[in-house]
Amino acid sequence: MPQLAEFVASHWIDLAIPLGVTGGLIVVVLLVVPRVINRIDRMTPVEIKLTYWRLLVAPLCWIIAVVGIYATIIQFEMSEESTDKVTVALAIALTLAFVYAGLRVFNTAMRGHHQNLREAHDPRAAYVGGLRKIINIVIIVVAALLIASQLNLEITPLLASLGIVGLAVALAMQDTLSNFFSGFYLMLDQPIRPGDYIQLDSGQEGFVQEIGWRATRIRPFNNNLVIVPNSKLADSVIINWHQPVPEMSVYIRCGVAYHSDLDEVERIAKEVGQAVQNRVEGTNREWEPVVRFKEFADSNITFVTVLRVTDPTQRFLLEHEFMKALFRRFNEEGIEISFPMRTVIIREEPPPAPQR
């Protein structure tokens, strides 16, 4: 202690200047910067998100203190070995300060986003929380490797070991990782969302119940869950009846006999379609039905009636009611809905030629 007091007494000017500047800068950062930020918040008519600047106050003080201490120490004559140690300590302290600042800003942003998704009952909230933890671990591991390299520790064997372990884990959990990253893609790109009515290229269809880490649950009309692995779902051709809007056209095919009056057929189909749209829930009642004749088929003239629903699940009821009403109306009007038939012509064999 006497030696330290003697050293300070003999070098107090050399110590006071850099330490005073450092302390002054820290006071400015702690007292002035928050007030400036608050004043900007009050004076700006448009809301500015300055929360992240407030989070940087503590790391900034840390950096200023480290640089100030370093500037104070290097004024005195030291051996090359001591200078190297001080420089390494400075580099480690600055690395920790920047990692701390980055983690504070990143975690604050992710927590806010996570809270907003949870309040909106968005299924991506589960992925955001998990992703935040994974990125935190990655940042800490990278920072630890940087510090180890600054301490001249041999990290090449460690990196090689981590690579081998990572490869083994990736091979062992190939399906699990494939489903995880496919689920992550479904969450971010959102080709489907919970509540959407979808149809897969395998023919399965239903409401998306939940998009999980490994699989997606689809509920058909029979109320049984169909569980599809995320990797297969991401590779499937999907018809999403709810995107971009739930309103959709419904095409109902029919055919009439060749002797039918096509103008009359078109008029009746439109009238029946409009009447059915007006009484079935979930239809677009402002939509005017469209009738288009398609082809001269083998046994009839086919046509399509185009109706419109605002709820994709109501298309089945609309088709059901339209077919009943059209069949009833055609019977009343004497219009024949023909079915496949073939006309067979039997020719009598000519009598045998008389023998001579």
Ordered per-residue pLDDT tens for the chain, 356 residues: 454 444 444 444 555 556 565 666 666 655 666 666 566 556 555 444 555 566 666 777 767 666 766 666 666 565 667 667 767 777 777 788 888 878 887 887 777 777 777 777 666 666 676 677 778 888 888 888 888 877 777 767 766 776 777 677 666 666 777 777 777 777 777 788 888 888 888 888 888 888 877 888 889 888 888 888 888 888 888 888 888 888 889 999 999 998 899 999 999 999 999 999 999 998 998 899 999 999 998 888 999 999 999 988 888 899 999 999 999 999 999 999 877 766 666 766 666 666 65
Question: Is there a single domain that holds both residue 12 and residue 98?
Answer: yes
Considering the domain boundaries, does residue 338 fall inside one? no
Q: Is the pTM of this model over 0.85?
A: no
In a domain, 185, yes or no: no
Quick one: 256 and 164 in the same domain? no
End residue of a domain, out of 240, 268, 297: 240
Q: Does 105 lie in the same domain as 203?
A: no
Q: Are residues 121 and 146 in the same domain?
A: yes
Specify if 41 maps to a domain: yes
Query: Do residues 119 and 262 share a domain?
Result: no
- In a domain, residue 178? The reply is no
Which residue range is the domain that position 71 belongs to? 2-168
Residue 152, by phi and psi: left (phi above 0), alpha (psi -120 to 50) or beta?
left
DSSP label of 20: H
For residues 58 and 87, state if they share a domain.
yes
Q: Label residue 265 exposed, middle or buried (CB < 10 Å: 0-12, 13-18, 19+).
A: buried
The 10 Å CB-count burial string (b at 16+, else e) for 31-63 is: eebeeeeeeeeeeeeeeeeeeebebbeebbbbb
Same domain, 123 and 25: yes
Domain boundary among 150, 168, 186: 168
Domain count, the chain: 3
Is 184 a domain residue? no
Count of H-run helices and E-run strands, the chain: 12, 8
Residues 284 and 309 in one domain: yes
